[in-house]
């Protein structure tokens, strides 16, 4: 048993290092938060023996990450807060870690499709634990949402919006999970969207360079 736990920890550590160098965690469209949420989702799947990873587990990762911060008396640094409002929104709607864990068995897909694909395939390469196509698609869409909005970070809010991209879809595990704990998926999404919409797009590298004092001096007549 000890050897098994050691092997699992080794694979998990490798995954964590890989994900932090992938597009979700290490590029202009990444931060440490999204990988931490994904890691927490994986940790919970292993702890609960409830694989493969689904969109519902990603919501659990968001809720768990927020709970850990509150327990530690910590907050997101200022630059990340606009992209992380989902943790507080879920808490305000009564979506707690304990309630989510209790509801997970009821939303488990009968025949999950485990097909890593899209941009997230570069960071989801391990079979420990398996990821569903649904969960991979949520990560992929979250990155797309951040890119389209010009945001410099893919945060928990992007992940939640991606998981609830069609709040009328009763087949989505994230939507079913929220309903199982008595939360309205549409209301959660409506509460998360304004905070992201209020964030100005990050300037492109070219625009930042244009404002550089050194470049201004070089270009001045």
> How crowded is the C-beta side of 26, counted as CA atoms within 13 Å?
10
Q: 53 pairs with which residues across the strands?
A: 131
> How crowded is the C-beta side of 55, counted as CA atoms within 13 Å?
31
Nearest to residue 195, comparing CAs of 33, 50, 84? 84
In this predicted model, what pLDDT tens digit does every residue of 111-127 receive, in sequence order? 888 865 444 444 555 54
Q: State the pLDDT at residue 169.
A: 64
Contact predicate 188/93, CB 8 Å: yes
Kindly report the pTM of this predicted structure. Answer: 0.74
Range from 20-29, 72-81, 101-110, 162-171 carrying the lowest mean pLDDT: 20-29
Q: Would you say residue 170 has pLDDT above 50?
A: yes
Contact predicate 125/18, CB 8 Å: yes
| Domain ranges across the chain | 2-219
CATH number of 2-219: 1.10.1780.10
Calpha distance 216→221 (Å, rounded): 10
Q: What percent of the chain shows pLDDT beyond 90? A: 33
**Residue listed under structure tokens 């945001």:** 151
């Amino acid at each position: 048993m000890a050897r098994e736990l050691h092997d699992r920890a080794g694979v998990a550590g490798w995954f964590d290092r890989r994900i932090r160098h992938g597009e979700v965690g290490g590029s202009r469209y990444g931060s440490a938060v999204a990988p931490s949420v994904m890691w927490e989702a994986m940790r919970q799947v292993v702890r609960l023996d409830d694989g493969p990873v689904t969109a519902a587990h990603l919501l659990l990762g968001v809720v768990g990450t927020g709970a850990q911060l509150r327990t530690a008396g910590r907050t997101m640094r200022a630059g990340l807060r606009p992209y992380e409002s989902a943790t507080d929104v879920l808490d305000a709607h009564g979506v707690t870690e304990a309630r989510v864990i209790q509801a997970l068995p009821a939303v488990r897909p009968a025949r999950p499709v485990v097909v890593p694909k899209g941009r997230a395939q570069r960071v989801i390469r391990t079979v420990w634990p398996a990821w569903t196509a649904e969960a991979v698609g949520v990560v992929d869409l979250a990155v797309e949402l951040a890119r389209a909005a010009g945001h410099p970070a893919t945060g928990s809010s992007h992940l939640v919006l991606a998981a609830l991209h069609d709040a009328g879809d009763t087949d989505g595990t994230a939507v079913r999970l929220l309903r199982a704990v008595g939360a309205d998926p549409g209301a959660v999404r409506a509460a998360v969207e304004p905070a992201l919409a209020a964030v100005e797009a990050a300037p492109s590298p070219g625009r930042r360079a244009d404002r550089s004092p050194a470049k201004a001096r070089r270009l001045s007549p």
